[in-house]
A = this chain, B = another copy of it.
Amino acid sequence: MSIVYARRTAKFNAAHRLHNPAMSDEWNLATFGKCNNPHWHGHNYTLEIVVAGEPNPETGFVVDLAELKQIIEERIVSKCDHRNLNTQVDFLAGKMTSTENFAIGIWHQLVDHIPSGKLHCVRLHETDNNMVEYFGD
Contacts and interface: CB of A to CB of B under 8 A. Distances in A.
Given A13-B43, A41-B83, A83-B37, A130 B2 contact: no
Given A60-B100, A98-B55, A14 B31 contact: no
Contacts of A15: 15, 39-42
A34 B103 CA distance: 23
Interface of A is mostly: mixed
A2 to B, nearest CB: 6
Interface residues of A, number: 67
A60 B11 contact: no
A80 to B, nearest CB: 10
Contacts of A41: 13-15, 42, 81-84
